[in-house]
Amino acid sequence: MERGKKFLLDRVYQEIKAGLSPSKISKKHNISKQNLNYYVGKLKKLGLIEKKGYGVWVCTRNIKQVKTLTTRQYNKKTFTSSKKEIRGHAFIWKIHFDDPIYWEGYVNKYQKKKLSFQLMKHNNILRTVFQNRKIWLGKKGMIIYEPIDFMGRSSFEVKGKAVFEMDLLIKNLLKELGIIFRPYKFTTSREHYGIMKNELARQYNDRKEKMAIRSSDGDVWMWIDDSKGLGELENKEPNVNRQVQNFWNNHKKHGFNIDADFVLGGFNENTQAINRNVAHIEKNAQHLEFYLENMKSHVKAIQQLGNAVETLSKQVEDIKGKSEHL
């Protein structure tokens, strides 16, 4: 019994680490809410998880397995702390198999009661729920609606975790239906990334306001709606999320002192300094021009003086020659 408790404690920790909420963990592993609350409370007491919002828990320490350590041992800083800033969620995966799968044949042979299937008459596609995911089965592939939230330090780390879970789900589903695994390609038709505890989001949430930024085609690419109570600034592209994350971290680094007024003030100061330098240059140019004119007049005077000296020399030579004949 004790061994079972240790196993379930580790299992609950791993599922929270993967982004599942307690209610989803309860359904997935058929654990009563009372027992699940015990394990969640135990993990919290051990300092391994913390609550971020209603029904949202995140891991505060990144460990491979929950072992039989005391609370004091867990609270010692012997584990690498993993600061998770990004929440990835609302993934919709579009799976395309290299070889088509004729699902109905496998479904008709399926004798277990673990899965049930519904044929959607309007598009002749089978629908099922497997491991708490809604899945649409088409001839060329499948569509998976991912309900799990994934936490990480970056959008790329988060998406990596989500892809890992997606791949595991596909393999388990094919195995459940007795289908040999086959290569596939995947894309997403939806993916959301939230920067948690964002300062801008906090200000909007405090005022109970929402924000939506649209591109030129009207598509919303960044928004604040306080959907989970985590103070998130959300967008739907990993690369954009990384840039937005860097943008806000850079602002935080400088104490949020660099705003439009700061930038414009700097431009105005630089413009005034440039104007002063231009005025000095123009004034110096005028001085140079006056100096050049003086130089020109000096050169002319020197040339005239040279000519006069040459004339005087000739006159002296003439007088000297006449004196020799006397």
pLDDT tens profile 90-103: 999 999 999 889 99
pLDDT of residue 325: 63
d(CA 61, CA 79): 6
> DSSP string covering 28-82, please?
HHT--HHHHHHHHHHHHHTTSEEEEETTEEEESB--S---S--HHHHHSS-S-B-
> Whole-model pTM?
0.55
Neighbours of 116 (CB within 10 A): 10
pLDDT of residue 54: 75
CATH of domain 2-75: 1.10.10
155 in Cβ contact with 238 (< 8 Å): yes
pLDDT of residue 76: 39
pLDDT of residue 139: 82
Q: 150-203 pLDDT, tens per residue?
A: 989 888 999 999 999 999 999 999 999 999 999 999 999 999 999 888 888 888
Neighbours of 200 (CB within 10 A): 15
Low-confidence stretches of the chain (pLDDT < 70) are 1-7, 62-84, 248, 259, 322, 324-326
Q: Beta-strand (E) ranges in the chain?
A: 49-53, 56-59, 86-97, 117-120, 125-130, 133-138, 141-145, 150-152, 184-195, 211-214, 220-224, 233-235
Domain residue spans of the chain: 2-75, 86-253
